[in-house]
Amino acid sequence: MNWFKNLFSNIKDYPEFWQDYLAEFKQPNPQRVVVLDCETTGLNPSEDKILSIGAVALHENVICVEDHFSVFVKQTFHQAESVAIHGIVNNKKNKLDTEKEAIKQLLQCIGSAKIVGHHIQFDIEMINRALQHMQLPKLKNKVQDTSDLYLKYKGIHQPIQKSLDDLCEEFNIPKKDRHTALGDAFLTAQVYQRLVIQ
């Protein structure tokens, strides 16, 4: 019954960071795009959790290394196989934040920018679920999927599945730091550049 609750609740009931986030949309900066990637415990949004989020921004299609974001989330349960892929285990040297803290920082980073990612709907879904746990509405940002952009770029109409690895190979982008959120975000940002700059 969330919609019902939202409908009647006053916007001022939301925490300050969410209000700051909303305020960003009043003066959007269309030149800024944030490329984002989440590492999760699995591929099922209803069961799995976010382990880390990495993001890097482009300004006028130039990747700005300085404008990046990276957070590791403290989760109470871990699935062994996901650890094998992402190498994220509890008690690693990385400082872990609570999910709430991580989402708060994420909102600060993305602001009103368009969010770009490879198969980004999954990441958005994961973030929206986290927001839901915090009794907050969904993300308001525009979203663009690099796999959709790729089909457009190629002029293909029937959907085909291309992984980030496939695209990196096709565009001759050296694959490094695959399966770290920030590393994947950086690779995706480079793919994005090739898809939008002509």
Partner 1 sequence: MENVIVERVADFLKQFPPFQEIHSADLHKIAAQVRVHYVPKRNFVFKEGDPAHTEFYVVQQGAVGLRSKSRSATAWIDICDEGDILGLRPLFADQTYAMEAVAREECVLYAIPIEAFKKVLANNQAVMDFLLESFASNTRNPKASEAKGKLLSANYASNEAQSTDLDFFQQAFYTKNPICLTAKATIQKAALLMNDHKISSLIIEENKLPIGIITDKDIRRWVATGEMQIADKVSEIMSSPVKCVPPTIHLAEVQTILLQHKIGHLCVTQDGTDQAEIIGILSEHDIVTAQANNPVALLKQIERVSKLESLTRIRESLSSLLEAYLNTALPMPYIMKVSGLITQALMHRVIELSEEKIGKAPVKFAWLGIGSQGRGEQLLLTDQDHALVFEDVSDEELETTQAYFLKLAKDVSRVLNELGYVFCPAEMMASNPKYCLSLSQWKSQFSKWIDQASTQNIMMCSIFFDYAKVYGEADLVKQISQHILQKLKGNQKFFAYLAEDAVKNPPPLGFFRQFIIEDDGEHKDEFDVKARAIQPLVDAARVLILAEGIEGKNNTVERFEKLIELEPQNEEVYAGCIKSFHVLSKFRAVEGFKNNSSGRYLELSSLSKSDKMKLKRAFKPIQEIQSLLKNRFKLSYFL
121 contributes a contact to partner 1 by CB under 8 A = no
Q: Which stretch binds partner 1 (CB under 8 A): 4-12, 110-118, 133-141, 183-191?
A: 183-191
Tokens of 100: 């709430």
Instruction: Please give the angle made by the CA atoms of 146, 32 and 155, to the nearest 5 degrees.
Output: 30
- When binding is defined by CB under 8 A, the residue of 40, 141, 147, 190 that contacts partner 1 is 190
Neighbours of 178 (CB within 10 A): 13
Q: H-helix or E-strand containing 132? A: helix 120-133
* Cα torsion 48, 133, 106, 99: sign: negative
CA 154 to CA 149: how far, in whole Å?
9
Q: Which residue has the tokens 């939301």?
A: 14
84 contributes a contact to partner 1 by CB under 8 A = no
Shortest Å distance, C-beta 25 to partner 1: 26
Q: Which residues pair with 72 in a beta bridge?
A: 52, 96
Per rule CB under 8 A, count of chain residues that contact partner 1: 24
- When binding is defined by CB under 8 A, the residue of 95, 155, 157, 158 that contacts partner 1 is 95
Q: H-helix or E-strand containing 65? A: strand 62-73
Nearer to partner 1, 158 or 198 (CB): 198
169 contributes a contact to partner 1 by CB under 8 A = no
Show the site string, 56-75: x = touches partner 1 by CB under 8 A, - = not.
Answer: x----xxxxxx-x-x-----
193 contributes a contact to partner 1 by CB under 8 A = yes
Return residues touching partner 1 (CB under 8 A): 56, 61-66, 68, 70, 94-95, 172, 176-177, 180, 182-183, 186, 189-190, 193-194, 197-198
